[in-house]
Amino acid sequence: VTGTELRSYPFPARDGVDPDPHYALLRGAPTPVVLSTGREAWLVTRMADVRVVHTDPRFSRAAAVADATLPTAGLSPPAGSLLALDPPDHGRVRRLVAGAFSARRIDALKPGVRAAAVELLDPLPADGATDLVPAYTRALSVRVVGDLLGVPAADHEMFAGWSDALLSTASGAPDRVGRLRGAVAGYLRDLLGRKAAEPADDLLSHLAAQRVDDPRELVMLAMAVLVAGHETTSNLLASALLLVLGDPDLASSLRADPARLPAAVEELLRYVSLGSVGGFPRVATADVELGGTLVRAGDVVVAALNAANRDPAEFADPDRLDPDRAPNGHVAFGAGPHFCLGAALARAELAEGIGVLLATRPRAALDPAAGADWHQRSLVRGLARLPVVLGPRTSTGPRTRTGEDDT
List residues binding ligand HEM (CB under 6 A). 54, 82-83, 94, 145, 148, 224-225, 228-229, 232-233, 236, 274, 279-280, 305, 332-334, 338, 340-342, 345-346
Q: From the CB of 262, what's the least distance to ligand HEM, in Å? A: 14
Residue closer to ligand HEM by CB (options 228, 390) is 228
Query: What is the smallest separation between the CB atom of 391 and ligand HEM, expressed in angstroms?
Result: 27
305 and 331 Cβ atoms separated by less than 8 Å: yes
Nearer to ligand HEM, 233 or 402 (CB): 233
CA–CA separation, 110 vs 108, rounded Å?
A: 6
b/e per residue 11-36 (b: at least 16 CB within 10 A):
beeeeebebbebbbebbeebbbbebe
- CA–CA dist 45, 76 (Å, integer): 20
Name the packing angle between helices 261-271 and 343-360 (round to 10°).
Answer: 120
For ligand HEM, the closer of residues 277 and 364 by Cβ is: 277
Burial 155-178 (b: 16+ CB within 10 A, else e): ebeebbebbbbbbbbeeebbeebe
Cα–Cα distances in angstroms (integers) from residue 306 to residues 18, 191, 237, 333, 349, in the given order: 9, 36, 16, 10, 21
> CB of 269: closest distance to ligand HEM in angstroms?
6
Residues 6+ apart with CB under 8 A from 393: 122, 126, 360, 361
Cβ distance to ligand HEM smaller for residue 131 or 266 = 266
* CA geometry: angle 337, 52, 49, nearest 5 deg: 140
Q: Which is nearer to ligand HEM, 349 or 367 (CB)?
A: 349
What is the distance between the alpha carbons of residues 339 and 343, in angstroms, rounded to a whole number? 8
Min CB(228)–ligand HEM separation in Å: 3
Which residue has the CB atom at the shortest distance from ligand HEM?
342
Please give the Cα distance from 196 to 210 (Å, whole number): 10
Q: What residues does 168 pair with on adjacent strands?
A: 378
Q: Pick between residue 130 and residue 306 the one whose CB is nearest to ligand HEM.
A: 306
* Least CB distance to ligand HEM at residue 81 (A): 8
Nearer Cβ to ligand HEM (346/389): 346
Query: Least distance in Å: CB of 258 to ligand HEM?
Result: 19
Least Cβ distance, residue 333 to ligand HEM (angstroms): 5
Q: Contact at 8 Å (CB) between 400 and 355? A: yes
Strand bridging mode 40-44 / 31-34: antiparallel
In DSSP terms, which residues pair with 290 in a beta bridge?
293
310: helix, strand or coil = coil
What is the DSSP secondary-structure string of 169-216? -STTHHHHHHHHHHHHHHHHHHHHHHHHHS--SSHHHHHHTS--S-TH
Closer by beta carbon to ligand HEM, 336 or else 362: 336
Q: How far is the CB of 310 from ligand HEM (least distance, A)?
A: 15
Kindly state the smallest distance separating residue 214's Cβ from ligand HEM, in Å. 18
Q: CB of 240: closest distance to ligand HEM in angstroms? A: 9
Residue 87, preceding bond cis, omega within 30 degrees?
no
In whole angstroms, what is the distance from residue 221 CA to residue 4 CA?
42
Nearer to ligand HEM, 50 or 254 (CB): 50
CB-wise, 10 or 229, nearer to ligand HEM?
Answer: 229
